[in-house]
Amino acid sequence: MSLQHLVRGDTLWKRTQLNFLIAYESILLVILMAIAIKVRNLGIGTHSDYKTEILLFAFPIIWLFALAVLGAWDTDIFESRTIAYQRLINSSLITFLIFSSASYIFKISISRFVVLFSLIGGTIAHLVLRFIFFRVLSYKVHDDAQPVWLILGEDPEKERVLEKLAAVNNARVNCHYSYKSGDSFEVWLLQILESAKVSNPSNIYILDSNHLTTEDLQAIVWGFETLGASVYIPDKLGIAAAQSTNVFIGNKAWAKIQTPSVNDSMRVVKRIFDFIAAAIALIILLPFFFLIALTIKITSKGSIFYIQKRIGRDDVLFNFPKFRTMYQGAEVERLSILGRPDETMAERYKSDPRITPFGRFLRRFSIDEMPQFACVLLGTMSLVGPRPVMPEEEPQMGRIDFRRHIVKPGLTGIWQTSGRKETTWEERMAMDIEYVQKWKFTLDLVLIGHTFRSIITGEGSY
């Protein structure tokens, strides 16, 4: 049987769900347009004419076009909720730019309320709609069938990581041995594909590609593509490959590796956002700070704040404040109780005897981290970024882990929203480097949204 005839039902299922999502979001945009037309005359000095009507009628079309062009309805949004939300926010920004530009060029006067309601309110409504959609979908998938992951190759360390990830995603792992040099590649691949028709895997992980040529890898990717499965291979260039662009030199394809996207211009945007958000947060939280400080003094002896040195941007040390959550003098027992970071570190965190009862409550909901808004205001930290490490932890960092220090450390980030203390040290470093390499302003917004969920649930906080 040829590869072209190996069609998997999962692809049709994903496209069906996308059609539902497109319909829901289209209806939402039509509703927003209708409301915008209804209230178009609100505001001082505004008036309605045919140009205003045309722009408001074009509003949902512009947004739908932006959603389609930026991949907000591609099937890979099922693999990553972050990508789904990030592309939605990107489309909102593009729609705002087009809408504002058209209004300025054609001298169309529209109430600021209409603009804010339609775009900012519409974006929030879109995010809520997508959140509900994915939640309902996850329950449906959980009830209907268990996802299957197929592993090609032998690598005990990578297999353990994938099995752990599969358990989190309620997936079942099927293993196949890797292709050996000298065997018939075509026969081996067809056998795997025939087996995959029965198990219907959603993800394919190739652990070892040393014995495979470029043509072999292309055949695997294209073969499983016809089944609707995603193929993953180890990135030998490191996460920097995410910043690559394909170019042709002669008749050969080359990968141009670009620098991380946190350039000087975007640092300014990030700093302005950090300053405004931190100032607002400190004003709102100040009364709670007094209440927390009083409770700490009443429940245990010692200072209100615990301040230690952490490594910041460009390896510069800075003062890192927290509300004290441990008994006085607990830092001298850290190594004897917690030891070095490893796979069992999470269990030792859960039963750490140095934490006070009130301190455990503060840690559970990340309240002890609130004083770090002052660091954000001063510029030693950012709202979003890698969590700062202690100087004594630096020797444990890998050869490329120093790249996490080219940005300011953050209050929250990928690690903080992905299990925190339930992850290994190596996983944490990989998440930090991923953030540096893939940073965009919209990614910060998505991670801030995920942070509220993590704080409410107390996920990974001890």
| In a shared domain, residues 410 and 297 | yes
Number of residues assigned to the chain: 462
3-state secondary structure of 316: coil
Alpha-carbon gap, residue 258 to 251, rounded angstroms: 22
Alpha-carbon gap, residue 379 to 318, rounded angstroms: 11
Residue 5 has pLDDT above 50, yes or no: no
Of 143, 162, 196, the one marking the end of a domain is 143
| In a shared domain, residues 282 and 317 | yes
Task: State mean pLDDT over 256-282.
Answer: 77
**Tell me: the pLDDT tens digits for 372-425?**
999 999 999 999 999 999 898 888 887 778 888 888 999 998 888 877 767 788
In our burial notation (b when 16+ CB lie closer than 10 A, e otherwise), range 343-376 reads eebbeebeebebbbebbbebbbebbbbbbbbebb
Residues sharing a CB contact under 8 Å with residue 69, sequence separation 6 or more, in sequence order: 91
Closest CA to 244 of 260, 262, 264: 260
Residue 320 has pLDDT above 70, yes or no: yes
Q: How confident is the model at residue 203 (pLDDT cuts 50, 70, 90)?
A: confident
Domain assignment of residue 301, yes or no: yes
| In a shared domain, residues 117 and 212 | no
Output the six-digit token pair for 26: 């289209």
Q: How confident is the model at residue 11 (pLDDT cuts 50, 70, 90)?
A: low
Of 195, 217, 234, the one marking the end of a domain is 234
Residue 241 has pLDDT above 70, yes or no: no
- Amino acid at position 309, single letter: K
Domain assignment of residue 343, yes or no: yes
Angstrom CA distances, 103 to 36, 98, 274, 391, stand at 15, 8, 30, 53
| In a shared domain, residues 202 and 162 | yes
pLDDT recorded at residue 6: 35
Name the strand (E) or helix (H) holding 321: strand 317-323
Q: What are phi and psi of 356, to 5 degrees?
A: -75, 160
Residue 157 has pLDDT above 50, yes or no: yes
- Contacts of 102-110 with CB under 8 Å at 24 or more apart are 102/55, 102/58, 103/55, 106/51, 106/55, 108/51, 108/52, 108/55, 109/45, 109/46, 109/47, 109/52, 110/40, 110/46, 110/52, 110/55, 110/56
Q: How confident is the model at residue 40 (pLDDT cuts 50, 70, 90)?
A: low
**Domain of 100, in residue numbers:** 3-143
Q: Residue 118: count other Cβ atoms within 10 Å of its Cβ.
A: 25
Output the six-digit token pair for 47: 């008036």
Degrees, nearest 5: CA angle 101-107-108? 85
Q: Residue 249: count other Cβ atoms within 10 Å of its Cβ.
A: 8
Number of domains observed in the structure of the chain: 3
CB 68 within 8 A of CB 87: no
Task: State mean pLDDT over 333-339.
Answer: 65
Q: How confident is the model at residue 66 (pLDDT cuts 50, 70, 90)?
A: confident
pLDDT recorded at residue 221: 80
Domain assignment of residue 399, yes or no: yes
Task: State mean pLDDT over 51-74.
Answer: 82
What's the predicted TM-score (pTM) here? 0.63
Chain-centroid distance, C-alpha 93: 18
Domain assignment of residue 248, yes or no: no
Task: State mean pLDDT over 9-37.
Answer: 79
| In a shared domain, residues 363 and 449 | yes
Percent of the chain with pLDDT over 70: 77
Q: How confident is the model at residue 229 (pLDDT cuts 50, 70, 90)?
A: confident
Region of poorest pLDDT, from 3-12, 89-98, 418-427: 3-12
Domain assignment of residue 442, yes or no: yes
Task: State mean pLDDT over 201-205.
Answer: 84
pLDDT recorded at residue 370: 93
- Residue 117 is given by DSSP the state I
Alpha-carbon gap, residue 269 to 439, rounded angstroms: 13
pLDDT recorded at residue 3: 34
Residue 367 has pLDDT above 60, yes or no: yes
| In a shared domain, residues 92 and 226 | no
Task: State mean pLDDT over 311-320.
Answer: 91
Domain assignment of residue 245, yes or no: no
Domain assignment of residue 184, yes or no: yes
pLDDT higher at 45 or 182:
182
Q: How confident is the model at residue 45 (pLDDT cuts 50, 70, 90)?
A: very low
| In a shared domain, residues 277 and 334 | yes
Dihedral over Cα of 342, 205, 244, 451: its sign? negative
| In a shared domain, residues 199 and 134 | no
pLDDT recorded at residue 8: 40
Residue 319 has pLDDT above 60, yes or no: yes
Of 86, 113, 143, the one marking the end of a domain is 143
| In a shared domain, residues 193 and 334 | no
Region of poorest pLDDT, from 163-172, 300-309, 341-350: 341-350
Q: Residue 440: count other Cβ atoms within 10 Å of its Cβ.
A: 14
Task: State mean pLDDT over 320-337.
Answer: 78
Chain-centroid distance, C-alpha 435: 8
Residue 18 has pLDDT above 80, yes or no: yes
Task: State mean pLDDT over 254-264.
Answer: 61
| In a shared domain, residues 284 and 377 | yes
Region of poorest pLDDT, from 62-71, 145-154, 200-209, 340-349: 340-349
CB 444 within 8 A of CB 383: yes
pLDDT recorded at residue 58: 82
Dihedral angle of Cα 37, 41, 46, 52, to the nearest 10 degrees: 20
Q: How confident is the model at residue 108 (pLDDT cuts 50, 70, 90)?
A: confident
Residue with tokens 């609707």, as numbered in its chain: 228
Alpha-carbon gap, residue 328 to 336, rounded angstroms: 16
Whichever domain contains 209, its CATH number is: 3.40.50.1370
- Amino acid at position 332, single letter: V
Q: How confident is the model at residue 12 (pLDDT cuts 50, 70, 90)?
A: low
| In a shared domain, residues 96 and 197 | no
Q: How confident is the model at residue 280 (pLDDT cuts 50, 70, 90)?
A: very high
**Helices then strands, each counted (H, E), the chain:** 15, 10
pLDDT higher at 33 or 128:
128
118 half-sphere exposure, CB direction, 13 A CA radius? 30
| In a shared domain, residues 223 and 165 | yes
Residue 176 has pLDDT above 70, yes or no: yes
Domain assignment of residue 250, yes or no: no
Region of poorest pLDDT, from 102-106, 373-377, 392-396, 429-433: 102-106
